[in-house]
Amino acid sequence: MNQISFFDGTQPFRNNKPIRLIELFAGYGSQALALKYLGVPFEHHRISEWATKSIQAYKDIHATADHTDYSEELTVDEIKAWLVGKISIDYNAPATEEQIKRFSEKVARSIYNNMRATRNIGSITQATASDLAIFDTDQFLYIMTYSFPCQDLSTAGNGAGMSKGSGTRSGLLWEVERLLSECHELPQVLLMENVPQVVGGGAIADFVQWREFLERLGYKNYHRLMNAKDFGIPQNRNRCFMISILGDYYYTFPKTRELKYLLKDFLDRHVDEKYYLTDAKIEMFEKHTAKQQAKGNGFKFDPTDGGGVR
């Protein structure tokens, strides 16, 4: 049995191939940032992100030097037609053709250029395996991340779940199944991150189904609940991570480390009054907390002096 290690002493990644990163549900590219912070050289190969604000954020963070006008040879009507089905304005639903038609030319070209600069294939529901452009896996290591929406799993959500065919946002996981099923060459490493409820009572059957699918493709899967506060970050943020490796490999999760800092160690001691919450805002948050807790949701407004972990 071979071994692959992502965290090995001072060598953050043991691998002898150039890395190509594919981020599904990319957001602003936190997985890419993690690799950068670890000092791992990689190529932004493809992303899938449909929310226009996140598309802009990804461009601002990861492709700041790319000022190419990819839209130069296209008419505004051609650009708008290309955007249909690929983007969302509100994070929840695809932008309609009518909404896109109302974009100014400047806005339409900006979104198009941002997507081209970041190799963004747009909404995962419209993507195909060919869009992922996975080839020459003997020469490149493909890492594909898929932090699919958690709203229908988290305690702050409505518990609609992630079952196949449910039509929920968390159910977009099964679009990843579709893409992998279409692939002629598979990414060698998959990384999932989601809320702990992904392996909870309401979703455990779906999670087992997902793992079994990956096993049929030849992946070995390793999952664990990991809290940020156990890895040096003063934040009580518990998440489920799963590493899936194609082939006969095993994976060992990194060891926990002592928490040396509290939240107050990262806070400014002198803050301009314009950043203070007004009494009206505080009252609004308190009412919202009471309303959410009455519904059994997890939202809670709980101010702190920074002397602990949040």
Last residue of a domain, one of 202, 223, 250: 250
Q: Do 63 and 132 sit in the same domain of this protein?
A: yes
Q: Do 182 and 287 sit in the same domain of this protein?
A: no
Domain of residue 190, residue span: 15-250
Answer whether residue 83 is part of any domain. Answer: yes
Q: Do 228 and 191 sit in the same domain of this protein?
A: yes
Answer whether residue 292 is part of any domain. Answer: yes
Domain count, the chain: 2
Q: Do 39 and 167 sit in the same domain of this protein?
A: yes
**104-139: b or e for each residue (b if 16 or more CB lie within 10 Å)?**
eeeebbbbbbbbbbbbbbbbbeebebebbebeebee
Percentage above 70 pLDDT, the chain: 94
Quick: pLDDT tens for 188-200: 999 999 999 999 8
**CATH number for 225:** 3.40.50.150
Q: Do 198 and 167 sit in the same domain of this protein?
A: yes
Last residue of a domain, one of 250, 276, 295: 250
Answer whether residue 285 is part of any domain. Answer: yes
Q: Which of 4, 51, 111, 150 is catalytic?
A: 150
Check if 150 is active-site.
Answer: yes
Quick: pLDDT tens for 10-63: 443 367 899 999 999 999 999 999 999 999 999 999 999 999 999 999 999 999
Answer whether residue 255 is part of any domain. Answer: no
> What rounded mean pLDDT belongs to the chain?
91
Quick: pLDDT tens for 231-254: 998 999 999 999 999 988 888 899
Using CA atoms, how far residue 83 sits from 60, 88, 108, 263, 268, in Å, is 20, 10, 8, 42, 42
Q: Do 211 and 269 sit in the same domain of this protein?
A: no
- Does the pLDDT at position 4 exceed 70? no
The answer to whether 150 and 239 are in contact (CB under 8 A) is no
Quote the CA–CA distance of 205 and 98 in Å, as a whole number: 39
Give the SS3 label for residue 23: strand
Lowest mean pLDDT among 7-11, 81-85, 157-161, 201-205: 7-11
Structure-token pair, residue 183: 């692939």
Confidence at residue 8, expressed as pLDDT on a 0 to 100 scale: 43
